[in-house]
Structure 1
Amino acid sequence: PDVICIQETKANVDQVEVEEIEAAGYPHHYWYSAHKKGYSGVAIFSKYEPKHVEYGTGIDFMDFEGRNIRLDFDEVSVMSLYLPSGTNIARLEHKLKYMADFQDYINNLKKDIPNLVICGDYNICHEAIDIHDPVRNKNVSGFLPVEREWLGNFIDSGFIDSFRHFNKEPHNYTWWSYRANSRANNKGWRIDYNMVAQPLQENLKRAVILPEAHHSDHCPHMVELQFP
């Protein structure tokens, strides 16, 4: 791929052997880490030098956790996003505020940058098809009605869920718990998305999930866009 978006890096750049990244063909790599060591963090690796790099959103409580970085190119802007999880009541409240403020931020950003691709870990399953057991998980953060409604509204605000644009089949997931042999049994959640802004619809060529790649409890997913 030309661009790779990473979430939950849990590292500062000085803790990473960047020579291996560069040797793999990505001389341009950009990191945005959380203030708290070993927590959160995002990065983007690129074969091409961007026109501009935007670190964070300018919203302090978001940027403190290092959850957003964007590269601007001539024809497209690519953002790596790591939405918070709602592991307890306090974090769920934080997540819901983040979601609301992020929507406002993106609404304003699209006025200047309409050709936007937001890649990342959204920590939300959108529909029942996106989770292995929608009934038992209906009251679990990541599949709460309020979270699912927000994600639906986010898509309706002018984005394409690129994977579902091409694939309407069930049992396609991007995250599996380490417990109960979940991955081997494909008891997963699709919580990672490459959201593509509507003006880029004609540029979409394919979008796939790569579950055979075992790097973490998530697997890679990709979207291909073609420009003249």
Structure 2
Amino acid sequence: MKTFYYIIYYFPNGQKDEIRLQYKLDFYDDLLPIINEQVESGNNVIVTGDWNTAHRPIDLARPKENINTSGFMPIEREKLDIYVSEGWVDTFRLFHSEPDRYSWWTYRFGARERNVGWRIDYFFINKDMVDLCIDADIHHDVLGSDHCPVSLILDI
């Protein structure tokens, strides 16, 4: 097994102002060459945490209503598209294509009880690690936060 880097981040929240959104977008831009450099050096990389962006319409309960909400704005989703185009793999979607699987719910309006959520917590891996993946999941039944745990099982 090659060396691998396990990176845990809380990615910035874009909130509702342009300055904060630009900070978030810059963060995505700044991280990508750092992790790509590790892969180019022969290392495997896992990047996990709260990415604060639902990548695809399947990743949130109400995509049409949230198209202009930070966390699902096209410009934010395009950043994740760039990661994918450069060989980064969303491990959950390797194993699960079904909708209604979320990792975050607002505390308001009984959202969790009604499963009106967003999938914003990810494990992204470089493509060379795909064969090591056994499973990835979301543990929606674990309470204690507005997020629930996500997991990745590797054969290393």
1:164 is aligned to 2:58: no
Q: Give distance in 2, aligned partners of 1:103 and 1:84.
A: 15
Give the aligned residue type for 1:77: Y
Structure 2 residue aligned with 1:209 = 138
Measured after TM superposition, the shift of residue 172 of structure 1 is 0.2
Give the aligned residue type for 1:84: P
1:191 is aligned to 2:115: no
Measured after TM superposition, the shift of residue 113 of structure 1 is 4.8
Structure 1 residue aligned with 2:72 = 143
Q: Give distance in 1, aligned partners of 2:93 and 2:101.
A: 10
Q: Give distance in 1, aligned partners of 2:26 and 2:48.
A: 20
Structure 2 residue aligned with 1:79 = 7
Alignment of 1:1-12 (within 5 A): none
Give the aligned residue type for 2:8: S
Q: Percent of aligned positions with the same letter in both sequences?
A: 36
Measured after TM superposition, the shift of residue 125 of structure 1 is 0.4
Q: What is the aligned length? A: 155
RMSD: 1.4
Q: Give distance in 2, aligned partners of 1:136 and 1:198.
A: 33
Q: Closer, same or farther in 2 for the Cα pair 1:85/1:187, shift >3 Å?
A: same
For structure 2, list consecutive stretches of 5 or more residues without a partner in the other structure: none
Alignment of 1:74-153 (within 5 A): 75-87=3-15, 88-153=17-82
Give the aligned residue type for 2:50: D
Q: Give distance in 2, aligned partners of 1:113 and 1:125.
A: 29
Runs of 4+ in structure 1 off by over 6 angstroms are none
Structure with max Cα Rg = 1
**Residues 35 and 45 of structure 2 are in contact (CA less than 8 Å); yes or no, is this contact kept in structure 1?**
no
TM-score, length-scaled by structure 2: 0.94
Structure 2 residue aligned with 1:179 = 108
**Residues 114 and 199 of structure 1 are in contact (CA less than 8 Å); yes or no, is this contact kept in structure 2?**
no
For structure 1, list consecutive stretches of 5 or more residues without a partner in the other structure: 1-72
**Residues 182 and 188 of structure 1 are in contact (CA less than 8 Å); yes or no, is this contact kept in structure 2?**
yes
Structure 2 residue aligned with 1:46 = none
Measured after TM superposition, the shift of residue 107 of structure 1 is 2.1
TM-score, length-scaled by structure 1: 0.65
1:218 to 131, 147, 150: 147
Q: Give distance in 1, aligned partners of 2:2 and 2:79.
A: 30
- Could you say which structure has the higher strand fraction? 1
Give the aligned residue type for 1:104: P
Q: Give distance in 2, aligned partners of 1:103 and 1:74.
A: 20
Higher relative contact order (CA 8 A, sep 6+): 2
Q: Deviations over 1:108-149 (max 9, x none)?
A: 232225311111111000100001000010000100001111
Aligned partner of residue 136 in structure 1, secondary structure: helix
Q: Give distance in 1, aligned partners of 2:55 and 2:145.
A: 22
